[in-house]
Structure 1
């Protein structure tokens, strides 16, 4: 399980969605950092994404199921990214209320890239298994 590269990608996706949102802030308003826990929708979406990546990692014997779960996770992270973009465009940019975007808003992009790399590796494994089955 761990020796496969897609397991490493999925593990990094779990860390990116499960641990890093606690470290990096999403945006800063009036000098106060706003983390994802302050808005329940972001918390739910980050939790679902982490759970899907963990389930995908644990279902390493079922490559097709793993592939589908990763696709669902990509869609979930695109929704999360869309919510971040919407919030960023609606965030005030007045000089009286100083607002600053945080690096935590880029976590869904990193997760999407990791999931795409994992899906490529899963597809490669699936093609290898199919080619071996043809030789039998």
Structure 2
């Protein structure tokens, strides 16, 4: 059902990734070279996949196993996105003009935390349904 706590967690995860999509910074080093630009297809593809998986998972509330699998795929895509952000920020030599570059790395971590919480709630609901079926 849509009023379950796992739906709230997945909505928060989708909103966090939406914020990352909107506020994604264009990081420029001291020499004026763009390190991470807004037109990178791979990074924005991963962000879009994460948002799409969260929305699809929210809309498939009647199929808890599918929700669980979609959330796991979303966690994997967030880990890949996190790895890209860490790799790009470590690859940069010297100081970056934008000192708030860590927020881009933080948002996929927040999304992963909420997806894990959603999976725990889905697992709890699934166990409850299985225990009720056993009593019949």
Band of TM-score, shorter chain: 0.7 to 0.9
Give matches, 1:33-52, under 5 Å. 37-52=38-53
Q: 3-state DSSP class of the match of 1:43?
A: helix
Q: Deviations over 1:85-114 (max 9, x none)?
A: 1101101215xx645324122111001001
Match of 2:135 in 1: 135
Q: How many residues align?
A: 134
Q: What TM-score do you get using the length of structure 1 for normalisation?
A: 0.86
User: What's the counterpart of residue 23 of structure 1?
Assistant: 23
- After superposition, residues 7-18 of structure 1 pair within 5 angstroms as 7-18=7-18
- Residue in 2 that maps onto 1:115: 115
Q: Give distance in 2, aligned partners of 1:107 and 1:122.
A: 23
The answer for unaligned runs of 5 or more in structure 2 is: none
Report the TM-score when normalising by structure 2. Answer: 0.86
2:57 matched residue in structure 1:
56
Q: Tell me the distance in 2 between the aligned counterparts of 1:90 and 1:35.
A: 11
Unaligned runs of 5+ in 1: none
RMSD of aligned alpha carbons: 2.4
